[in-house]
Amino acid sequence: MAKPFSKRKKPTPATSSDDTPPDNQDLEENPALATITVTAVEVPELTEEEQRDRLQLERRVERAFFEAGKALTELRDRRLYCSPYLQLFSDK
């Protein structure tokens, strides 16, 4: 398939001898030239109550993933798939 025609003007290469890119450098073509500014934020330590809550919530999430995995395994093992869904992928 042919690549669609782009009306966007391509930047011309820098004529100076240094490695500084021109101001109009296309970051989509060379994302390594992008500058990202990150602001540091101080995060206070969790209290003992917050640590307990976090641990409890993380355990609930882990249990939910475990239960979902068990259910998916049983669906697969017992072949309890939806028939119309399988017809979409049949060779017929």
Residue 64 has a pLDDT of: 98
- Is the pLDDT reported for residue 66 higher than 80? yes
* Nearest partner of 8 among 35, 30, 28, 23, judged by Cα: 28
- Is the pLDDT reported for residue 13 higher than 70? no
Is-above-0.85 flag for pTM?
A: no
Residue 34 has a pLDDT of: 82
- pLDDT confidence tier of residue 57, bands split at 50, 70 and 90: very high
Looking at the structure of the chain, the number of domains it has is: 1
Does a structural domain hold residue 15?
A: no
Question: What's the domain range around 58?
Answer: 51-92
Does a structural domain hold residue 46?
A: no
**How far is residue 62's CA from residue 69's CA, in Å, rounded to a whole number?**
11
Does a structural domain hold residue 62?
A: yes
Calculate the alpha carbon distances from 30 to 3, 4, 33, 45 in Å.
19, 20, 6, 39
Structural tokens at position 72: 């998916």
